[in-house]
Structure 1
Amino acid sequence: MKLSVKKTSELSVEEFLEIAKARVKVFVVEQNCPYQEIDDQDDDALHMILRVDGQLAAYTRIIEHEDHIHMSFGRVLVVEEFRKHHLGRQIVSATIDEIKQDFPGRDIKIAGQNYLRSFYESFGFKAVSDVYLEDEIPHIDLELKVME
C-alpha cells in the first residue's frame, strides 16, 4: 500500500484522468447523480491517493473551505473492488492527519452524505447543520475542532 499527496499541478495527465474516471464512476454513475463532478476546486486542491499494488484504491480531495477559515475534504471514495477492506477509514484518517500537518490550527468542516454521519463522528466530527439535499442526496455539515 502506498499513500501519496499531490497538488493538482503535480499530477501527471494520466494520474488526473485516473482520478477523474474513478470519481465520475462512483459519484455520477454508481450514485446515479448527474452533476459537475470535475469543478473549479480541482484547480488548487491537494489529492490524497492510496494505491494497492500500483492501482488506485482510495482517494480524497483536500480544499480550503468556502469560508476561507476552515479546511475541508471531500470526494471520499474507495474503488469498488477494494471496498470491505477498511480503506475508507485509512484514507480519511490520513486526510485528517495531512490537514493537521499542512494547515495547523485550522478546524475541518465537511459536507458528508448523511448515511455516513456515524462514520465521520467516529473521527470526532460533530454535526453542525440539519440534513439537507445536495444533488438529491441527503447531506449534513460536520465539523472537527482540531484545537480543543
Structure 2
Amino acid sequence: MKIEVVDFSALSLDMLYEILRLRMSVFIVEQQSIYEDIDGLDKDAKHILVTDGGALLGYCRLRRDQTQKVAKIERVVIAEKGRGRGLGQQIMHDAIQFCEQNWSGTPIKLSAQTYLTKFYQSFGFIIEGAPYDDGGILHIDMRKQINK
C-alpha cells in the first residue's frame, strides 16, 4: 500500500479520472447526493492518495483557505474495496500531519457528515455550529486547533 501527498499538477490523467470516479461513485451515487463535486478548487489543493497495486482505495483533498485563515480537509472518501482496513484513520492522520508541518498554527476545518462526528472527534476536532443540509445529507462544521 502506498500513501502520498501530491499537487494537482503531479496527478496523471488516469489518476485524476480515478479520483473523480471515486468521489462520484461514493458521494453522488452511493450516498444519493446531487451536488457539484467539481467545484474549481482541486487545482489549488494538495491530494492525499492511498493506492494498492495502482488501484485508488482512499483519497482526500487539502487546501489552505486564506480568506478564512484555515486549512481544510475535504472530500475524505474510501472505496468500497478499501473499507474496514483503517484507511480513513490513516488518511486523517496523514492529513493532520501535513497541515501541522506545512501550515503550522493554522486551525483545520472540515465539514463532516453528522454520522461521522465521533470519528473526527477522535482526532481532536470539535463541533462548531448547528447541522445543515449539504446535498441532501446533514453536515456539521468541525475545527481542530494545531500548535505552532
**TM-score bin (small chain):** over 0.9
Instruction: Note the C-alpha offset of 1:64.
Output: 2.0
Q: Looking at secondary structure, tell me which structure has more strand per residue.
A: 2
Question: Counterparts in 2 of 1:43-82, with a 5 A limit?
Answer: 43-65=43-65, 67-82=67-82
Q: Give me the whole-angstrom Cα distance separating, in 1, the residues matched to 2:115 and 2:128.
A: 15
2:130 match: secondary structure = coil
Aligned pairs for 1:38-117 (under 5 A) are 38-65=38-65, 67-117=67-117
CA-atom RMSD in angstroms? 1.3
User: Partners of 1:92 and 1:147 in 2: how far apart?
Assistant: 17
Equivalent AA in structure 2 for residue 33 of structure 1: S
Alpha-carbon deviation of 1:53? 2.5
Structure 1 residue ranges (4+ consecutive) displaced by more than 4 angstroms after TM superposition: none
When the two structures are aligned, how many residues end up with a matched partner? 148
SS of corresponding position for 2:140: strand
> Kindly, what percent of the aligned residue pairs are identical?
35
* Alignment partners' CA distance in 1, 2:14 and 2:68: 30
CA contact (8 A) 2:34 2:136 kept: no
5+ unaligned residues in a row in structure 2: which ranges? Answer: none
Provide the secondary structure at the position in 1 that maps to 2:97: helix
* Residue 28 of structure 1, CA deviation: 0.5
